[in-house]
């Protein structure tokens, strides 16, 4: 029974499960883990080197040729540093949290097709650790579990700064799970399968069959933004906002456990770049040559993945961090409605063109204005909660708004001014007309 089920997943199991098949599976897992760890080390070096070039600096250049061994040197240093345990920490959860962050990143990479079919010792198998029929659901499950690693790390530290970072993390990651999941559903609607290998095969005929083109560029852009926020990469790195949270959820971690969080961030970057290539750019699909046929799909996959790794580094070097309200507005007011509307449009097209055009018309005529009105009301409600303006441009506007010409709300400043020591070295008085507090006629 087990062999029959396995045979539907991978041609390696067509003739049952024996010792040779078991060894091949172990080798695939070991090679995938080693390749991913090497890719993470190279990604860390690549990011530091590329950002230094963009900022007219040298970057790592001491350890090894071109500084290639700098990541290894940093890992060895962290391994020998003292492992600290906060006094008020929940010991078991504190020790478990780093592994809940790094394991989902590796397990999600296991379902990524890296190449095509190859044959070794008479056994034919896919160049992929596993291809379960519900691979996409497995990906979403791993993405959800990674939230617990960050949340529990902050909660178990027994300190307010990590707790604030973990609360930010949970809100941010859960918010962007929704548009990420909706775009994946859009891909499934088109390909009709939850298997990552089937999704790649559905894009293999020509490059215009890639989901990037067949779905329109909108789901791809939404998925790219949502994944970036999900990984806490700039400009969405509010979970680790150093200037506000002292370092975020991992403030109390040191030594090897801090290194695990660091590795998890970059491993997620590599894994999600590979997932983007799999879902939208045909995975290892690409033109080949009559010699070394097994090598060209691997090279195409690595080349496509490298493009997205470069983009992530470029974003980190070029864009400033968003405010938290901007982060939430982008996710809830824009990405989720657009992703949901596009998914309904694609579902209509899968029935027939008339359904698709009808749904598009309903979205444009009815849902669009309603969404715009909701966003406008949200902005207005936000402004109502803010303090009244401290400066009014003209006397006429000041009269209509009930403020003095200087722009200070009536009664906001006592007659004697603000007492000394209440935020300044001396009394602060309300501005007088003509002293610069109002606009010149």
Write the pLDDT tens digit of every residue in 378-397: 666 655 555 544 444 455 54
3-class DSSP state of 119: strand
- Coil, strand or helix at 40: helix
3-state helix, strand, coil in the chain (%, to 5): 65, 0, 35
Where does 332-394 have alpha helices with state H? 336-351, 353-362, 368-384
Range with the lowest mean pLDDT among 7-16, 75-84, 318-327? 7-16
Question: Which residue range forms the structural domain that includes residue 250?
Answer: 2-320
Task: Indicate whether 333 belongs to any domain.
Answer: no
Q: What is the largest CA-CA distance in the chain?
A: 93
Number of structural domains, the chain?
1
| Lowest-confidence pick of 17-21, 36-40, 69-73, 341-345 | 17-21
Average pLDDT over residues 36-40: 92
Determine phi and psi for 257, rounding to 5 degrees. Answer: -70, -35
Q: Give the model's pLDDT for residue 5.
A: 44
Q: Is residue 414 part of a domain?
A: no
Q: So what's the pLDDT on residue 401? A: 52
Residue 225: its pLDDT value, please? 95
For residue 404, give both structure tokens.
């003095």
User: What distances in angstroms separate CA 236 from CA 317, 318, 329, one per listed residue?
Assistant: 13, 13, 13
């Amino acid at each position: 029974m087990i062999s029959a089920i396995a045979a539907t997943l991978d041609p390696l199991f067509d003739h049952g499960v024996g010792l040779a098949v078991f060894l091949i599976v172990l080798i695939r897992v070991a090679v995938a883990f080693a390749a991913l760890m090497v890719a993470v080390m190279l990604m860390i070096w690549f990011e530091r080197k590329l950002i230094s070039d963009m900022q007219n600096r040298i970057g790592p250049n001491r350890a090894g040729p071109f500084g290639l061994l700098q990541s290894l040197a940093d890992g060895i240093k962290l391994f020998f540093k003292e492992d600290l345990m906060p006094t008020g920490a929940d010991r078991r959860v504190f020790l478990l949290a780093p592994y809940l962050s790094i394991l989902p990143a590796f397990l999600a990479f296991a379902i990524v097709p890296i190449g095509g079919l190859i044959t070794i010792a008479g056994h034919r198998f896919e160049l992929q650790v596993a291809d379960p029929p519900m691979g996409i659901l497995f990906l979403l499950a791993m993405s959800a579990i990674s939230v617990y690693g960050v949340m529990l790390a902050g909660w178990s530290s027994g300190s307010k700064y990590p707790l604030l970072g973990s609360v930010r993390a949970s809100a941010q990651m859960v918010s962007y799970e929704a548009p990420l999941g909706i775009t994946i559903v859009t891909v499934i609607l088109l390909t009709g399968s939850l298997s990552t290998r089937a999704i790649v095969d559905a894009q293999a005929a020509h490059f215009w069959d890639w989901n990037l083109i067949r779905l329109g560029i909108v789901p791809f852009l939404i998925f790219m933004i949502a994944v970036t926020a999900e990984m806490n990469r700039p400009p969405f790195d509010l979970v680790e906002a150093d200037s506000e949270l002292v370092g975020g959820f991992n403030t109390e971690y040191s030594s090897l456990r801090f290194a695990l969080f660091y590795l998890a961030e970059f491993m997620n970057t590599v894994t999600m770049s590979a997932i983007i290539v799999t879902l939208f750019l045909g995975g290892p699909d690409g033109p080949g040559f009559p010699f070394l046929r097994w090598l060209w799909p691997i090279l195409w996959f690595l080349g496509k993945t490298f493009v997205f790794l470069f983009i992530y580094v470029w974003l980190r070097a070029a864009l400033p961090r968003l405010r938290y309200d901007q982060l939430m507005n982008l996710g809830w007011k824009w990405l989720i409605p657009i992703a949901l509307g596009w998914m309904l449009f694609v579902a209509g097209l899968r029935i027939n063109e008339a359904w698709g055009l009808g749904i598009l018309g309903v979205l444009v005529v009815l849902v669009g204005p309603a969404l715009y009105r909701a966003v406008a009301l949200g902005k207005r409600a936000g402004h109502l909660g803010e303090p009244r303006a401290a400066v009014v441009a003209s006397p006429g506007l000041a009269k209509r708004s009930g403020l003095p010409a200087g722009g200070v709300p009536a009664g906001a400043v006592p007659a004697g001014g603000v007492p000394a020591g209440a935020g300044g070295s001396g009394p602060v008085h309300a501005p007088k007309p003509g002293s610069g507090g109002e606009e010149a006629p």
